[in-house]
Structures are given as C-alpha cells and as structure tokens.
Structure 1
Amino acid sequence: MHRTVVELLRGNETHTRAYDSHFDDVQESQHPDVVTVCCSDSRVLQDLMWGNDEPGNIFTCGNIGNRVVQTTEAGEVVSGDVLYPLAYLDTEVALVVGHTGCGAVTAAYDDLTDGIDAPPGVRHCLDLLTPHLDSGLDSLPSDLDRPATINRLVEYNVDWQVAFLRESDEVPDSVDIVGCVYDFQDAYPGQRGEIHVVNVDGERAAETLRKQHPEIEGRIDRLWEY
C-alpha cells in the first residue's frame, strides 16, 4: 500500500476518537445549516475524516455519488477536477470515497426500481450513476433490507468508479487508485466515522487485499463480495 494512504488512515484514528458521539443525531437523517460544494452529503467531513487540517495536503473534489465521470461529446471521460491533479500536479494517489446511507445511490436505486421525478440537474447526475449500478441489482442477495441493499450498492458504485479510473488511458499507470467507504451508520465493524478500504486498483477480495497490504489489514472490510 502506498505510504500516503497508510498515513491518511492513521490520521483517521484521531478522527474516530474525536467524532464518535457526533453521529448520534444524524443516523437516519440530516438537517444541515449550510450547503457547500463538496462530496456532497453534509455528514461527510472530507478533510477531518483523515485528521487533516493542513492546506495543500489533499485536493478535494466533491459531487453527489462520488463520481469520477463526466459526459462529453466523445462520451464518458474522467472528470476534469479529478484528472487535473493526476495529470498536472504529480499526485500519486486517487481515493474514491463512498459513504454509508448515500442519498445519491439511494436515489439511483429508487430510479432503477420504481422511477423517480428529478429536475434536470439532478437527473444528469443520476444518469451518470444508474446505468452502472443497474448491472449490480441482479447480483444482490434477496434477503437484504433497504439500508443493507443501499450500503452494498455504495460498495458497488465505488468499485465501478475505481475501475473507470484504472481503465482510463488518461490516468497514469503509476497512480495508486484506492476505493473506500466512510461509515457513520455502524454498517462495518469499528467506530463511527471510520474509513474502510474496499478496493485497491480493481482488486476487491478482502482477504487478498489483506495479504497484499498487511500494514492496513485491520482497515480492509467489505459488506459484499460478488
């Protein structure tokens, strides 16, 4: 595992100790006082989750559904805000960070199963998610409740975004691409606010990842291996 990811996960240990109780009132809903352009759920503390308070350490991109894709006349390409540091700033690691209870994944699931009305801007975002999540629906276990279904699709979405980056000719082969899930709903073992690695460069078998990256084996977890 790249040393940068290991250091970020060590920083996350401080975050979990400081913020465990802060999630008590937002397990099922959110009532934010301000909206910021970040990934985009108000419960996801993008820099604090790593214990980071220093500018210059993390180039933060945010959108609903932690998407790495944008559409152009040429089709789907790596989003410019994700590609910029990889192409021009010598950034060596790309992290795709989903989160439990993701509203964008929930909306995409509802759209695929029942159809939903959405304004054009939201519809555009959903249309970048739904075709790729659709392929995972038939593989889901049949005995899952709704929250468990959503959280498995969160992993599936992270996997797809990692694969898109890894397969893109625009992303240098030297870049380490890691998929994670930020958990504040007690879906994974560990503390609220903990980050769980679910995918490294397209490898998603948890046991294989633990053998490949023993220095973070305690932070590698998956809800769904398909």
Structure 2
Amino acid sequence: MDDAFVDLLHRNLEHATAFDGRFDDVQDAQRPPVVTVCCSDSRVLQDHIWGNDRPGQLFTCGNIGNRVVEHTHAGEVVSGDVLYPIAHTGTETVVVVGHTGCGAVTAAHADLTDGVDEPPGIERCLDLLTPHLSPGIDALPDDLTRAAAIDRLVEYNVDRQVDALVGSDDVPSAVDVIGVVYDFQDVYSGRRGEVHVINVDGEHDPATLRASHPAIEDRIERLWTY
C-alpha cells in the first residue's frame, strides 16, 4: 500500500481526535449557510481557504473548472450538487470559487484555440466549459501572455457560472450568488491564499461592487473588465 495513503490514515486519527466533540450539533441534519463550488485542484483547500473547522458550516462541491451546470435530457441545467443544499438544507448563499492558473480553463483555452485530445470523461467536462468561454477568448486583449490570458479567463468563467445560477429558475432570487478568485500565484495585489471578490449576483464592475458592498470593498478586485 502506498505510503501516502498510510500517512493520510495517521492524519485522520489526528483529525478525529481534534473534531470528536464538533459533530454533536449536526448528528441529525445539516443546515449549512453557504455552498461553495470550487475547482477540484489539489492546491485549492476547499474548507481551509475560509479557515473553516466547523462541521455543517460549508456545503462543498468540487469539479474541474468550478462548474455549476450539467447536461441532461432537458438541456443544460444547474447541477444537483449545487441545488441540493439550496432546495433541502436552507442554504441561501452560493460562492463560486475560481483560482489562478486553473488547469481546466487552460485546457478549455487550448481546446478552443488549438484543439486537445483528452479521454472522453475529460472531454465531457470541457464541453461544459468551452461554449461559455469562447466569447471571452475572442474579447481578450492581443498583447497578453498566455498565463495572463488564462487568469483573465478564470474571471470570465466565474462570471459565466454566476450568470447560470442567477438566471436559473431553480435558484430562488433570495439566494446570494458570489463569484471569487483564490490566488496562490501572486497575480492579485493581496497575499498568497487570499480570496478576491469579482462578482455579486451578476454585477462584476469593481467600482459598482465597492459602492454597493463597502464592508468588503478592500477585497473586491478584478484583473479584467469587459
């Protein structure tokens, strides 16, 4: 057996010791106030980026590209992973978490510009991203490096996922939908690991957001407006 998994088991004992008394209030049900949709990238620590150590506080969803949609016989709909806490646990805030240097956005960019050859499972995921990112690629400034272009498309992707939630009849209008980017590559002005708010309920103009949300104005920052 791989030593990495054995190490995980040892760490789980530490977790179980530390968390032993923290599950008492969530034995019978969960009512998380927030659902997060993160990229399933090993560098994005879905609970830890918020300093969370409370079971029942966050309903976490993860997939490549922090997507909120899926294809069904009815067409493209909001994923049940995201809808479940909204529909059944009283969750009223959704946070879409993109991140700098996103591999899924990088692959989507490559697929749209040069074409890629991926296994069917990965192609299916890219098919959920590329139609939404194509207009963003066309709108990018011509003088960007590839890395800079990808980070701007990360914002564009978060915006599109927020739009899908705000525009869905399955998501009540009372639910707050927030788009953020997690930066561990010194792309934004803050420290490594900071979350930067780029979209609230479909509004993505930084000046408008700062005026509307003064309590978090120092956390509102975008690389790109379009």
TM-score w.r.t. the length of structure 2 is 0.83
Letter in 1 for 2:161: Q
CA drift of 1:54 comes to 1.1
Show the counterpart of 2:122: 122
Show the counterpart of 1:21: none
Whole-angstrom distance in 2 between the partners of 1:101 and 1:192: 13
User: Aligned residues, how many?
Assistant: 192
CA drift of 1:39 comes to 3.1
Describe the superposition over 1:23-60 as per-residue Cα deviations: whole angstroms up to 9, x where unpaired.
xxxxxxxxxx67xxx73110001100001011100000
SS at match of 2:65: coil
- The equivalences for 1:161-180 within 5 A come to 161-180=161-180
Show the counterpart of 1:49: 49
Letter in 2 for 1:132: H
Higher strand proportion:
2
Whole-angstrom distance in 2 between the partners of 1:39 and 1:213: 26
In the alignment, does 2:135 pair up with 1:138? no
Greater length-normalized contact order (CA 8 Å, ≥ 6 residues apart): 1
Whole-angstrom distance in 2 between the partners of 1:119 and 1:137: 24
Runs of 4+ in 1 over 6 A off after TM superposition: none
CA drift of 1:122 comes to 0.2
Show the counterpart of 2:85: 85
- The equivalences for 1:82-121 within 5 A come to 82-121=82-121
Letter in 2 for 1:134: S
- The equivalences for 1:1-226 within 5 A come to 39-226=39-226
Unaligned stretches of 5+ in structure 2? Answer: 6-37
Whole-angstrom distance in 2 between the partners of 1:76 and 1:181: 24
CA drift of 1:138 comes to 1.4
Whole-angstrom distance in 2 between the partners of 1:153 and 1:165: 18
SS at match of 1:83: helix
Residues 39 and 99 in structure 2, CA contact (< 8 A), matched pair in contact too = no
Moved more, 173-182 or 134-143: 134-143
SS at match of 2:58: coil
TM-score w.r.t. the length of structure 1 is 0.83
SS at match of 1:163: helix
Instruction: State the structure with more CA Rg.
Output: 2
